[in-house]
Structure 1
Amino acid sequence: MEINMEVRREGSYFDGGLLQLIGWTILGALITILTLGICYPWALCMVYGWKINHTVVEGRRLKFTGKAIGLFGLWIKIFLLTIITFGIYGFWAGIALEKWKVKNTVFQ
């Protein structure tokens, strides 16, 4: 009897819905407004987590493992470097955020 060890690939897709995205985005905005921006990293982690956790790549679901405290530390670093460089580091802020997001994404 032969055992097939090939991994089954089911394709890539996103299974989140529009109403869910709107809900998570509104909740994140409310949290950010009510805390005067202090909980913005937490709100971003909620939305990032929802998007990434609803993504399947070649049959394997992604999982977001990032924590708000880690993102908060990154935000402080970006803020300080942007001030020190008179705004120049701000151009790299999006890249730093994307790197953090990918670093905290794994296959489930």
Structure 2
Amino acid sequence: MSYVGYAILAMLIIVFTIGIATPWAVCMMQNWKVKHTVIDGRRLYFDGTGSQLFGNWIKWFLLTIITLGIYSFWLHIKMEQWITKHTHHDV
């Protein structure tokens, strides 16, 4: 399936689960991106899962609500850190 197909599927997952399955959709999209990326002749792989991200996602969501949206400025940074932590070079 192409990137557009995965993006549509991820959007449908998020919409039909009212956002609860967002971590799984994020991991699905990230896995597709990483599978199609080669750096210095070495393929990348992504070992993150939706269930690993779910706990952080809930924590970040609650912090955003508690701080009346102020934490949302850090949300993107935290997400990128988590994605980077789970992205590796193939050996």
**Shift of the alpha carbon at 1:22?**
0.3
Q: CA deviation digits over 1:47-81, x for unaligned, max 9? A: 11000111001011000100101211111111121
Q: Give the TM-score of the pair, scaled to structure 2.
A: 0.91
* Unaligned residue ranges in structure 2 (runs of 5+): none
Look at both structures and tell me which one has the larger radius of gyration over its CA atoms. 1
* Deviation >6 Å, runs of 4+: none
The amino acid across from 1:63 in the alignment is: Y
Pairing of 1:78-97 with structure 2 (within 5 A): 78-97=60-79
> Can you list the C-alpha shifts for 1:5-60, whole angstroms capped at 9, x where unaligned?
xxxxxxxxxxxxxx711000011111112222211111111111000111001011
* Greater per-residue helix proportion: 2
Alignment of 1:93-108 (within 5 A): 93-108=75-90
Q: Which residue of 2 aligns with 1:37?
A: 19
Q: Which consecutive unaligned segments of at least 5 residues does structure 1 have?
A: 1-18
- For normalisation by structure 1, the TM-score amounts to 0.78
CA RMSD after TM alignment: 1.2
Number of residue-to-residue matches in the alignment: 90
- How far does residue 86 in structure 1 lie from its aligned partner after superposition? 2.2
Return the offset for 1:83.
Answer: 2.1
